[in-house]
A and B are shown apart, each in its own frame.
With several copies, the nearest count.
Chain A
C-alpha cells in the first residue's frame, strides 16, 4: 500500500536514472523516454481512443514487456521497475472484490494513469503539429537584409537659473584682479656680493671654497638662514661674473661637489 503515493506521482518525484542505466535502457527499450512513454506507446497499439483503452490490458502488456526485458538480462532502470510493481498492485486491486478496497480506489488510480496518458499524448500530438507548421527561417522567410530603423539621439540641454547666475558670479570672482604684496626681505645684493668677492680674492691666490666667502654665520643678522641662502646665491652669481671677466678661476671636481675659486693676478 505504501507504494501508491510514490507510484501515483512517479513523474517528477522519481530520481532520474543514472546515466549508465539510461544508456542501457535506451538500447533495450527502443528509445522510450521513461515508463510513461512506454505505457503510452503500448496504449496506442490498442488502436482505440485513449479514453477507451483497457487499463488491465495495458498493465498486462507492460508487465510482460518488462518480464521479457528481464529475461534478456537487461539492466532495467529503477523507474521502470517501480512502475511495474505499481501496475502489478493496480492489477490485483482491480481484480479484487470491490468491498475490500481501501482509499484511493483502484478505479481512481487507473483513472489517474489514464488521465496522465491522455495528457502526454495530447502534448505529443501538439508538438508534432507545431513542428509541422510553416516555420520562419525554414518554410517562410523574413526580409534578408532589412535597412533597420534609425533612432537619432538629440540632446535636450538643460541648465538651471541658479547655475547660470552662480557661474557668472564665480567667473567674476575668479578673474578679479589680485594685488600681490611682496614683503621687504633682507637679501645680499649682487653688487655687494661682487665687491665682497673681489676684495677677498685680492687677499690670497689659494683655492677657496665658495662657502668661505660668505659672511660668518655667527655674525648677528647673518645667522638668518634665508639671508645666508641669498648670500650664497649672490656670491655664486658674482663668482661667475668674475670668472667671465677673467678675474677669477672656478673649479668643481665632481658634480654637486664643492665649488672652489681663486683670484687671477692681472
Chain B
C-alpha cells in the first residue's frame, strides 16, 4: 500500500490524523467527530480507515483497539525501540492466569475465577490488574450473594494489541471446543443430559472417548 500524495488528503483526513496524534489517550470515532466540531462520524470512520492504510508499512501505525484509535510504533521495530528503563514489572503467573480468565470469560466473578484455577485468588492479584487499568468491576451478578463481576477494559485491548475481544488468541477454537463453558454445562453435555444437546457433537465424542480409555 503506497502513501497517498499529501495533496490528495482532504481537510477531514488531516484533522483526524492530527487529532488522534495529539490525543493523550485512544479515541473513538465518535469522540474524534465531536472534537472536530461535529464532523460526520461516517466520514471520520472512512478517514480513519484511509489513514490506517496510509500508515501500514511505516514506522508508526494507526490501530483500532476496542473501538478506540491510536498511533503506535510498528511491532517489527520492537527490537530497536525496546527500552530497559521501561521494563515493566513482570506479572506473577497467578496474575496472568487471572487476567486471561477475565478476558476469555468476562464478565466473571472471583468464585468463577477460583473454580477454574482450583485455588483461592490472593487479594493482591486482582488488585494488580485493577491498578494496571486492564480489569474493571463490571457490576454484580444477580444471583444470591450478588458477587462482584469483572471484565477487561479498553486499556487491556490497547496494551495487548487487540482490536477487540474477538482477537484474543485462540478464542474461537476455545469456544468451539466448549472450553469456555462452565464444567457443569460441559459435563451435562458430555453425559447427554436433557436440554444439553446443543453442545458440539465432536466434543461429546472426544470426551466419551476419553472416558472409554479410562475405564
Contacts and interface: CB of A to CB of B under 8 A. Distances in A.
Complex: A in contact with B (CB within 8 Å): yes
A20 interface: no
Interface in A93-125: 94, 107-108, 110-112, 114-116, 118-120, 122-125
B207 A51 contact: yes
A134 B161 contact: yes
A34 B96 CA distance: 16
Contact of A126 (B78, B161, B174, B214): B174
Given A127-B97, A130-B169, A159-B96, A174 B118 contact: yes
A166 interface: yes
Given A112-B187, A119-B116, A126-B168, A157 B131 contact: yes
Contacts of B180: 122, 169, 172-173
Most buried by A among B71, B158, B159, B188: B159
A143 B22 contact: yes
B184 to A, nearest CB: 4
B108 to A, nearest CB: 11
A123 B116 contact: yes
A33 B117 contact: yes
Nearest to A112: B187
B160 A161 contact: yes
B111 A12 contact: yes
Contacts of A5: none
Interface string B165-180: 0001111001001011
A151 interface: yes
B87 A154 contact: yes
A159 B190 contact: no
Interface stretch (A53-61, A196-204, A252-260): A53-61
Given A163-B96, A173-B180, A120 B116 contact: yes
A240 to B, nearest CB: 36
Contact of A36 (B83, B117, B170): B117
SS class of chain B's interface: helix, strand, loop or mixed?
Answer: helix
Interface in B127-183: 128, 131-132, 134, 158-162, 168-171, 174, 177, 179-183
A38 B128 CA distance: 25
Given A37-B118, A152-B82, A157 B132 contact: yes
Nearest to B74: A140
A181 interface: no
Nearest to A50: B210
A12 B120 contact: yes
Contacts of A140: 72-75, 78, 161
5 contacts: A12-B111, A135-B160, A138-B88, A159-B99, A172-B183
